[in-house]
Structure 1
């Protein structure tokens, strides 16, 4: 899935704790970091987090920025890919509702883990945009959500869906990995009114 240009095609984010930490930290580089990377095709997160209305302006939430990136078409027609460790049923419902009320077409593939209870495959059509939204199980708790044209090139889409399911970050040459851990936070840093913290013996 690499892009021949110099900009990253893949960004991987691995939060050590909650979803808010990763989203806020990622945007510290730039509030509009996702929108500023037009070649970015694949985003891998510890879990999906998005909010509507989609918005990637400086004042928008990080959840809105992820939704904006996912729902902004690429200029080359390739589907964006979102890999995540977990997708809850509430987030799935938000994606369904956004699809049904959409007036513009966009292609994406989400590969995720979902709860085993209450999950069923589905297929929806949006005749206004000429798209379908398909949710299918790959294996055990691993599922795939695909937004694509109703009339699509099956050979191309089969290839893209297979790539998304088999994606591995270490195989990408233009990959940025953001791995946040807080175990070392504070070591050697100044604490207000207390002076420097003495390094701890490991």
Structure 2
């Protein structure tokens, strides 16, 4: 267990919180991280690519010339692959690129990504945002006070409507919950800003 500073929205220290080393301070496993990122990127692919093979191309039902006696090579249809306008051989067909990964590996990848952010000082804990109403200017001031870069992943406990509405017009800011936390978002962000309650929830889920 290690102590982490908890900050206020004005950037001053509010206190500290003790979090498990098995979640936030492990040696990152780069191989598992690589596999988890590939898995997510694969599942994001549309897979709607398609071409027409010789059976799908319109026309070509009639034999272009008789089988024998012309001196030319025998042909059965003008939609065979060697013809202009013919079908494609072994072309792409609609498919899903998604595949599965063992649960233990997925959890290890998340712990590795979180630990990497902590090691690189790209992980900050805030006590609470205290937004009574959606205020983009106020939320932007909070990010400035906490000296956060442009690409920030904000993690809140449950869906916080005021935070979501305040941040949605700020480029580079993404909002998620402990349940929605994933490796791709963690590695893509320059910094992670998480509430104290959300950090404890992540520890509970991944610990």
TM-score, normalisation: structure 1: 0.26
Whichever of the two has the greater Rg, that structure is 2
More helix by share: 2
More strand by share: 1
TM-score, normalisation: structure 2: 0.26
